[in-house]
Amino acid sequence: MKERIQMNSASLQEKFPEVYREFFSKCPIVVSAPGNFFWAGEYGAFFGGLAIKQKVPLRVYVGLEPISLPVFEMGEMLHFIPSHTCFERWPSSVIKKEGLISVLDGWLKSQKISQETGFRINVLSEFPPGCGLSSSGAGSVALAVAAFLYYNLLPYQKIIHWRQLPVCELPFDKDFDQVFRTAWKIESLYHAGFSSGASCFTSLTHSSYPILHFIEKKTENYPSLDFIDQKRYFAFRIDEFANLSSNSPFLDLKSIGEWPIDFGLIYSGDVGTTEGAIKSLEGIRWDLSDLASEWRKVIKKSKIPKDRILFSEIIRKPESEIINPYIKAISTISLEVLHGLSWVFTSGSSERALRYLLRAVNTNHKLLDSLNVSSLILDKICFLVNKKVRDLGDDFGAGCKLIEPGKKGDILFVVNYHGLRDRIFDLISELRKETKENIWLDYASWIDGIEEKGVKVEQHLAEGIYSKFISEGSISLKSWTGADVSQTEITSLEDFEKEKSKIDLLLDAIENDIYIRGEKLTSKEIPSSSTTVEILGILLDNLGKSISDSQLPESSYSQDRNEMQSKIISPLVRVLKKRTNKTLPLKISGGLVDFKIKLDPSDLDIRILNKIF
């Protein structure tokens, strides 16, 4: 078995800096969101049941690469594969690409945005899809936040503010609600239209402890993206929810300290899809409906009374309700898992509390197996982990369950504090031998750490937020190309020198020089290049707006219209026309000492060099 590296963002960035460097160098905006898994609620959450989710210290990064056309494109998708110890390209479904573009187009219309430019969506995930860590939920959150930032619909400081709010108050924040519902719609595309939103909500929030999330009980034909706009949802951090009651000793979590249990994720050897599992659930619904129909015929011919007999009541249920007993059962077990977690937090994993939690987790898996979403290999791993832990002398055993309801993916294991720390890799090796599968330790809480942070803005060049992966010698350029929308990009000095001769008007804000098609203007051509650079920078930031002389930097040019006209405007317009045959729409109006100046959008390629790394 290959040597396992620590599975968290910091370790992967240290091990593969070139991968992150290439990703960040082409994306002016990069947002990341953490993966997360279900303690409980995989299916019940779709129907209003409780979802209990936990973040892991592995992230999905979404970077937006500006393109000049008003369209959206899918760029490169990279995923880290733990068992291969490398990042690999991952193809995206054409159908899902089209669905994503459709959702983004609809979102733009709902925000009443006039789209002048589009972007290419690049994805860098620190874990593979289909393992059960909600890559679609984390990626949807990162994309939604990045898109809101790209079109200036969300202040960066608002994201900082969300970290400081209690989780239970976040649904009432208008900006949070808009971003969350947008991410929820995007995620639904990857799950055949089914999503409770729990994964997206967890990736958005700041908490190292479990997040509890639930939606209104289903009353309409589900799924529907329109349903997401109206559906109410509720969420709590586990201690917030628990502290609503002061009477129960099992719900007093005011002083949560260190985690009293160890837990981790074991890769089963293959990945699955939630979409496939959801279709499997629909198959069970139809099988039960057919079964009930057959038994109704039998009952009709028998003398069994139709009223007050449970068997008769069940088989007379409508097709849409026939599977409800299963849903209620798995929703009820979520409450037991919640109770077990609360109990171990308050009791420090006493024998009774730990046994209760482990039993609840194991029961959860068995109930999910009844929905035909488990598999022989998942069941075998659960059995073997329990057996091996007991063989090591721990009578508590383990709690094990699937977290990806697609018959594949990862298994969650929960054990006593320090219960497997010295033997975990021996256990993984034994599982590999006994199952003949590519078993791998994807995550261990005591090795890889527990994630606290939610969504993060990793890079936003327009706001002066730069990643540490921007290479030394790179330069930052702000550009205006035919629209009143600016873009900031990072490029290498070598590429910049090749591109320089094609730029109509380049303002070097570092050296205060001006270039037209790669040729530097002399003092004879422009008397004061430094003042010109400063004034044009202000005008470009206010493209299409009239700026009064009082808003300009103090100089003789801003105090006298004639000086401004003769020393800055006329020389620049003249030399630009001569060298490019294009007109700079720079106009001045007003009196001698009380005037305004305005730069209109044009077809000129104008850029400002404002930073060298």
Confidence band, pLDDT 50/70/90 cuts, at residue 611: confident
Cα separation, 191 vs 197, in Å, equals 11
CA 260, CA 342: separation in Å to the nearest integer?
A: 11
CA distance 454 to 456: 6
Q: For helices 376-391 and 424-435, give the axis angle rounded to 10 degrees.
A: 140
Q: In which region does residue 130 sit, left (phi positive, over 0), alpha (psi from -120 to 50) or beta (all else)?
A: left
- Residue 477 — pLDDT band, cuts 50, 70, 90? confident
> What is the reported pLDDT for 80?
94
pLDDT surpassing 90 at residue 346: no
Residues near 239 by beta carbon (within 8 Å), at least 6 away in sequence: 209, 253, 254, 256
- Tell me, what's the pLDDT at 243? 61
The pLDDT score that the predictor gives to residue 42 is 83
- φ/ψ (deg, to 5) at 309: -120, 120
For position 585, what pLDDT does the model report? 94
**Under DSSP, is residue 322 helix (H, G, I), strand (E, B) or coil?**
coil
Q: Which domains does the chain have, with CATH numbers?
A: 274-447 (3.30.70), 474-612 (no CATH)
pLDDT of residue 484: 58
- What is residue 355's predicted lDDT score, i.e. its pLDDT? 94
280 vs 373: CA distance, rounded Å: 7
The rounded distance, in Å, linking the Cα atoms of 33 and 451 is 11
Q: Is the pLDDT of residue 291 over 70?
A: no
Residue type, 15: K
User: Per this entry, what is the length of the chain?
Assistant: 613
Digit-coded pLDDT (tens) for 321-339: 667 777 788 889 999 999 9
Q: Which residue has the tokens 């999503």?
A: 195
For residue range 572-596, list pLDDT tens digits in order: 999 999 999 999 999 999 999 899 9
What pLDDT score was predicted for residue 396?
Answer: 87
Query: What pLDDT is stored for residue 317 in this prediction?
Result: 67
Residue 348 pLDDT > 60: yes
Beta carbons within 8 Å of 524's beta carbon, 6+ residues apart: none
Residue 361: what pLDDT?
A: 96
- pLDDT of 284 above 70: no
Short-list 28, 23, 17, 90, CA closest to 477: 28
Residue 485 has pLDDT above 70, yes or no: no
pLDDT at 286: 61
Per-residue pLDDT at 1 exceeds 60? no
pLDDT in tens, 104-142: 888 888 887 776 778 889 999 999 988 899 999 999 999
Predicted local confidence at residue 450, as pLDDT: 94
Q: Which of 479, 480, 507, 482 is nearest to 491 (CA)?
A: 479
Mean pLDDT of the chain: 86
pLDDT at position 598, please?
A: 94
Tens digits of residue pLDDT in 388-400: 999 988 888 999 9
Q: Can the peptide bond before residue 223 be classed as cis, meaning omega within 30 degrees of 0?
A: yes
Q: Sheet holding 261-267: strands in order across?
A: 399-402, 410-416, 261-267, 440-444
Q: DSSP letter string over 424-450?
A: HHHHHHHHHHHH-S--EEEEEHHHH--
pLDDT at 56: 97
Confidence at residue 55, expressed as pLDDT on a 0 to 100 scale: 97
Give me the phi and psi of 523, to 5 degrees please: -65, -25
Least reliable range by pLDDT among 176-190, 235-249, 447-461: 235-249
Higher pLDDT, 505 or 68: 505
Checking if the pLDDT of 458 tops 70, the result is: yes
Tokens of 526: 């422009």
Cα distance between residue 558 and residue 561, in whole Å: 7
Please give the share of the chain, as a percent, with pLDDT higher than 90. 53
Q: Given phi > 0 = left and psi -120 to 50 = alpha, else beta, which region is 427? A: alpha
Helix (H) or strand (E) holding 297: helix 274-301
SS3 of residue 596 by DSSP: strand
What kind and span of H or E run contains 539? helix 529-541
What lies within 8 Å, CB to CB, of 303 at 6+ separation is none
Which has more pLDDT, 296 or 402? Answer: 402
- Rounded Cα distance between 134 and 141, Å, is 11
Helix/strand number for the chain, H first, E second: 20, 21
pLDDT tens for 151-189 read 999 999 999 999 999 999 999 999 999 999 999 999 988
Q: Which of residues 315 and 71 earns the better pLDDT score?
A: 71
> In angstroms, how far is the first alpha carbon of the chain from the final one?
41
Please list, residue by residue across 30-58, b when 16 or more beta carbons sit within 10 angstroms of its beta carbon and e when fewer do: bbbbbbbbbbbbbbbbbbbbbbbbbbbbb
CA distance 153 to 175: 9
What percent of the chain has a predicted confidence (pLDDT) above 70? 84
Average pLDDT over residues 521-538: 92
The rounded distance, in Å, linking the Cα atoms of 40 and 368 is 10
Q: How confident is the model at residue 45 (pLDDT cuts 50, 70, 90)?
A: confident
Q: Looking at per-residue confidence, does 262 or 114 come out higher?
A: 262
**What is the spatial distance between Cα 144 and Cα 163, in angstroms, rounded to a whole number?**
17
Quote the radius of gyration of the chain (alpha carbons, Å).
Answer: 30
Distance set, CA 275 to CA 51, 78, 97, 192, 375 (Å): 18, 21, 16, 5, 16
**Could you give the CA distance from residue 440 to residue 248 in angstroms, rounded to a whole number?**
40
- Predicted confidence at residue 91, as pLDDT, reads 77
CA 256 – CA 595 distance, rounded (Å) = 64
| Confidence check: pLDDT of 191 > 60 | yes
d(CA 182, CA 204): 12
Residue 236 has pLDDT above 60, yes or no: yes
- Span 31-45, mean pLDDT? 92
pTM for this prediction: 0.80
